[in-house]
Structures are given as structure tokens and as C-alpha cells.
Copies of this chain bind each other. A is one copy, B any other.
Amino acid sequence: VTARGRGTATTGASVPSAGGMVLSLERMTRILEINTADRYARVEPGVLNGDLQLALAPLGFFWAPDPTSAPYSSIGGNLACNAGGPRTVKYGAARDNVLGLNVVDGAGRYWPTGQFTSKGSVGFDLTRLLVGSEGLLGVIVEATLKLLPKPTASRLMRASFQQVEAAAEAVARVMAQANTPSALEFMDAKALGLLRRYHALDLPQGDALLLLEVDGAANTIDSQAAAIQAACQVSGLLHFEQATDARQGEQLWAARKALSPTLRLHAPKKINEDVVVPVSQLPALIRGVYAISAEFGIEVVNFGHAGNGNVHVNFLYDPANADQHAAAPLAVRALFKLVLSLNGTLSGEHGIGLDKLPFMAEAIPAETLSRMRDLKRVFDPAGILNPGKVLPMP
């Protein structure tokens, strides 16, 4: 039984690779309750992230996870893979923004988890155990989501740097001061090179670009932005710019938004891995990725959520080219080895699914994997839920 929302997972998690039945939750689209006084919403799993945001916006609230797929990905899917997005750096990922769930497990047992309140310390935390479990432990049939007040203002900023080392230093400095940005996005030299080649975008010089956003009440924006600008003053900063209005903010975002389509324009195939490293290891990650790219002859483009050290490493190649087709999986393997050597982890917001399954035994110690398999047996004794995903055979 493979539960499926809108099928936007990038890891094959919702593909019924072992056969069996697909359980589509696509038509469970009811928003059951929005309670702004108590800051929660109860929804069915098929509600699209974007549809919930549209329902919440007029009430002055939002749900934090904002994956790029928000307009067409379901909340059930967002919960299953612990989805994030640019805002995660300030507001947390799916796991941080759920109060309770109603679940049907692998034995057909129906049970609720969690509570309606923003605090709770009553028994074991089944809620967060289910979030990010990619449909292996149970099917989420209802979720009580934590709502946050929608900031009434925001400002976008852009900083370009001579090298990635300088950008990483700025990221650490930004994250060490009390005005946590609502987005801290990174693009490397390869991403900037592609954008310059395909688009007439106004891009500053430099080998690394940060997009930084602050949000909040309107009268806090100037001082927040000033603090961010101060934190970005590192050796190697080439250019810093604050958007003066929403239109200019849109222009600054344009480069980031153009990236994914440009990648598809540039190469017939991309493999996007959402690896995470400690922020201080960002330069080592980017340098290492360039070395892997050179070694295997596969082009690479890096961008992502720098405040969390969550980088989308995109390998770009032509599967019709036999050499590249053979080299791509080797490059991916080398990337994961590199990430683990830097104290990083395989995924920040996409999950494991099918694609990263071969690397789990290297990433997670054997004893910890055994506990995960034990949990699988508890919630799904017959092993019928999303078989062949996430957990390698012992």
C-alpha cells in the first residue's frame, strides 16, 4: 500500500515500486477547521499547501512549510517527507509545525496523536515520529497544523561575494545575530554562470550570491535589514543591495526563481540532491562538489537554503551520453561520501524514498537502523506500507 498525495516527491517515495496498491489521498481536500484564536487548522491530507495558505492569508496567518511545490503539493505529502523551503530557516519545517495527527497504521488501526495546544508533554511523541516517515509507519488521514501570524511586511536583500568562503562567513554571522532572516538563499558560481548565459538578468559580479529576506511588523523592517547588512560586512563582500519596494524585491528574487527552469533548459537530465552540512562546512562542500564534477565529467550547479546549510546540489547531464550516464551515479555516491565526511546528512527536506536508500547504511549507524526497523514492525507488522523505501534490508 503506497500512500500518495500529489506525487511531487523528488525521491520516488510515492512510486509503488514493489507493486501492490496505490492509496490516493488526492480527493481528501477538506479544510475541516481554522481556529485563529488558538492558532491551529485541521485539514485532510489532500489539501494543497497553497490552498491552505490562500485560506489563511485573509485571516492574517500562514503555515510555515513553503516548498517550491507549494501550489501543487499536498499537506499530507509535505508531512510525509518533512518538507521545508526558504522560510524554514526562521519558522521551521513540517515537523516543527504540527500539533497532532490522525493515523491509520499498517494493521488498519486508527489512532490520534498529539494535542490542540502549542505545548504538550504527555507520553511519547508519536506526532513527530510520523512526520517524515514517508508513509512507512501509517497513513495520515487528518492533521492539526500549527499556524503562525503572517508578517505584515518584508524586505529582500542581495549580497554578492568574491568567493564562497566569504559568503559562508556572512551566513554564519547573519545566523549569530538575533534578527533571524525569513530566507537566506545561496547560489554558487555555476548557478550564476548559467543565469548570466541564459538570461538578461541584472546580476552583480562575484562567485557567490546570497538572497536575504527579513519579515515581521512593518516598523521592525528597517532595523532588521540594517542588522543583516551589518552582518554581511565580511572581507570578500562585493556588493550589497536592499530592495526599496516590492517590485524591486521581485526583481531580486527573479534570479532564484529562474534557476530551476534554466537547469532544465540547459541539460536533458538533472539529479537534485538536497544535502545538508553544518554552515561552517559550506565552502568545503562546494569545493568538494567541484572536484567531484571535474573527476566524473558531470556539470554541477549548487544553490539552496544556506541558513540551514541545506544545499541543492544539481548534477546536470545527458543520459544519451553513455559516459555521463555511467558516471552520474558515481558522482552522486561521491557527493554523499563527502557530505557524511563533513558531519552532514543526506536530506534536509526531500527525504530518502527510493533514491537515497542505497546510502542509508552508510549514513545511519547499524544499531540506529535496527531501532527504525523495530518501529516499522510495531506500526506495520505485515510490512505492507510503502515497501522497499527508506530502510535498507538488514
Contacts and interface: CB of A to CB of B under 8 A. Distances in A.
Copies held by the complex: 2
Contact of A367 (B110, B120, B216, B351): B110
Interface centre among A112, A178, A216, A278 (most CB of B within 10 A): A178
Nearest to A226: B219
Contacts of A34: none
Contacts of A200: none
Contact of A216 (B178, B349, B368, B375): B178
A116 interface: yes
A119 B367 contact: no
A158 to B, nearest CB: 21
A265 interface: no
Nearest to A378: B374
Kindly state the interface size class of chain A when it binds its partner.
Answer: 35 or more
Nearest to A172: B37
B121 A149 contact: no
A363 B114 CA distance: 11
A345 B122 contact: yes
Contacts of A119: 84, 88, 93, 276, 305, 308-310, 348-349
Contacts of A48: none
Nearest to A126: B371
Contact of A279 (B38, B348, B371): B38
Nearest to A137: B124
Given A220-B220, A347-B122, A116 B278 contact: yes
A157 interface: no
A372 B124 CA distance: 6
A390 interface: yes
Interface string A356-374: 1000100111011111101
Interface in A261-317: 276-281, 305, 308-310
B124 A37 contact: no
Interface string A328-357: 000000000000000111111111100010
A279 B118 CA distance: 10
Interface string A128-153: 11011100110000000000011110
A224 interface: yes
A364 B175 CA distance: 39
Q: Which 7 A-B pairs have the closest CB atoms?
A: A38-B278, A219-B223, A119-B348, A111-B367, A82-B121, A37-B280, A128-B128
26 contacts: A38-B278, A38-B279, A38-B281, A82-B121, A84-B119, A95-B125, A111-B367, A111-B368, A119-B305, A119-B348, A121-B349, A121-B350, A123-B360, A124-B375, A126-B368, A126-B371, A128-B128, A129-B129, A149-B175, A152-B178, A179-B216, A179-B217, A219-B223, A220-B224, A371-B379, A374-B378
Given A123-B364, A128-B129, 14 more contacts: A35-B278, A38-B278, A84-B121, A88-B119, A89-B118, A117-B344, A120-B345, A122-B346, A125-B128, A126-B368, A129-B129, A149-B177, A220-B224, A374-B378
Interface of A: 35-40, 60-61, 81-82, 84, 88-89, 92-93, 95-96, 105, 109-113, 115-126, 128-129, 131-133, 136-137, 149-152, 172, 175-180, 215-217, 219-220, 223-224, 226-227, 276-281, 305, 308-310, 343-352, 356, 360, 363-365, 367-372, 374-375, 377-379, 390-391
